[in-house]
Amino acid sequence: MGSETPLKLPIIDFKNLDQNTKNNDWNVTKSEVHRALEEFGCFEATFPDIPPELQTSVFDSLQELFDLPLQTKLKNRSTKPFHGYVGQYPMVPLYESMGIDEAPVPEKAESFTKILWPEGNHKFSKSIQEFSEKLSKLDKIVRCMVLESLGLEKYMDEHMGSTNYLLRVMKYKGPETNDSKMGLNAHTDKNIVTILHQNQVDGLEVQTKSGDWIKLQPSPNSFVVMIGDSLYAWTNGRLHSPYHRVMMSGNEARYSLGLFSIPKAGYQVKAPPEVVDEEHPLIFKPFDHVEFLQFYYSEAGQRAPSALKTYCGV
């Protein structure tokens, strides 16, 4: 018997796409995006707007960032759960991460940099800001295609204006063994859309609807685009929010970045009436994302099989 071909995520090319002139290329790509997000909740994107030299500069900056003393990294604080420094957790000893709120905005990137480097670090803030700004364009294209695919164009301005960006930068230490060790527990993201980019140390795995795990091996210049629970709820379950995890082996450290589009505090995530019908009854009551996050990181939220269903399921 021949061996089965291992499952792979769809690869979708985003070059030569313009939201202002939606030609046949746009429509073909939009169909591919919708299909991938229904079936897998994620896909691998090639996006040439971010040149290799900027990617190299960003990963150099990440290494410099995580090499800072712990006391310096702990200055990355936030009142919002999972927005500041995360590390030193016995359950995931290989993992640490930091959050940069509104990273595409030059002043915000500079402000974050000054907290950790009071004397300034122009190369760091410039590469992080430029990378985030360019990647936010991919986020907007994907969300625009999602709304068009579902016939929800009339909500476009409201939807696009309802979010902020968070850039999370992550480091996973190599466990120094060839056995697989947990880098980050299986979870769904809680936001709208996540776009992930890594150095060439693999580890990210995505669970399919059938429960199988796909080990991702993205190409050096590609990005993994993934749906979060907030967009899953807003589309009333029309798209899939996948469980994913990081499993590490070997000696090399894995560096990755995630650009998260996140509902603003006070904005109610509420499925439009167009996506609710007899075949698709309402799954979730309206909710505030920040309040949901606070529940998710509580003891009850961590125990719940589905924090979102427990928090606001119909």
φ, ψ at 279 (rounded to 5°): -75, -25
Structure tokens at 73: 């990294």
Topology, domain 11-308: Jelly Rolls (2.60.120)
**24: pLDDT confidence band, cut at 50, 70 and 90?**
confident
> What's residue 22's pLDDT?
79
Which pLDDT score, from 0 to 100, does residue 184 have? 95
> CA 234 to CA 228: how far, in whole Å?
10
For the chain, domain boundaries = 11-308
**How far does Cα 214 stand from its chain's mean position?**
17
Average pLDDT over residues 188-217: 95
Task: Return d(Cα 143, Cα 260) in angstroms, integer.
Answer: 12
- Residue pair 196/224 in contact by the 8 Å Cβ criterion: yes
7 — pLDDT class (breaks 50, 70, 90): confident
Task: Read off the pLDDT of residues 140-151 as tens digits, 9 standing for 90 and up.
Answer: 999 999 999 999
Share of the chain above pLDDT 90, in %: 87
**Residue 235 clears pLDDT 80, i.e. is over it:** yes
Say yes or no to pLDDT of 5 above 70.
Answer: no
Check residue 6 and give its pLDDT.
67
Task: Taking residues 150-174, report their average pLDDT.
Answer: 96
Q: Between the CA of residue 220 and those of 46, 66, 136, what are the distances in Å? A: 10, 21, 19
pLDDT score of 220 more than 80: yes
pLDDT at 1: 41
Give the mean model confidence (pLDDT) for residues 38-65: 96
Mean predicted lDDT score pLDDT of the chain: 94
- pTM, two decimals, is 0.95
Cα angle 49-117-126, degrees, rounded to a multiple of 5: 15
pLDDT digits (tens, 9 = 90+) for 67-120: 999 999 999 998 887 789 999 888 899 999 999 999 999 999 999 999 999 999
Sheet containing strand 11-13, strands side by side: 11-13, 42-46, 222-227, 193-198, 254-263, 163-172, 95-101
Mean pLDDT, residues 19-29 taken together: 85
pLDDT category at 157 given cuts 50, 70, 90 is very high
Q: Please state, for a pLDDT cut of 70, what percent of the chain lies above it.
A: 98
Instruction: Classify the phi-psi angles of 102: left when phi > 0, otherwise alpha if psi is within -120 to 50, otherwise beta.
Output: left
Please compute the mean of the pLDDT values over residues 292-309 and round it to a whole number: 91
245-290 pLDDT, tens digit each:
999 999 999 999 999 999 998 999 999 999 999 999 999 999 999 9
Sequence letter at residue 120: G
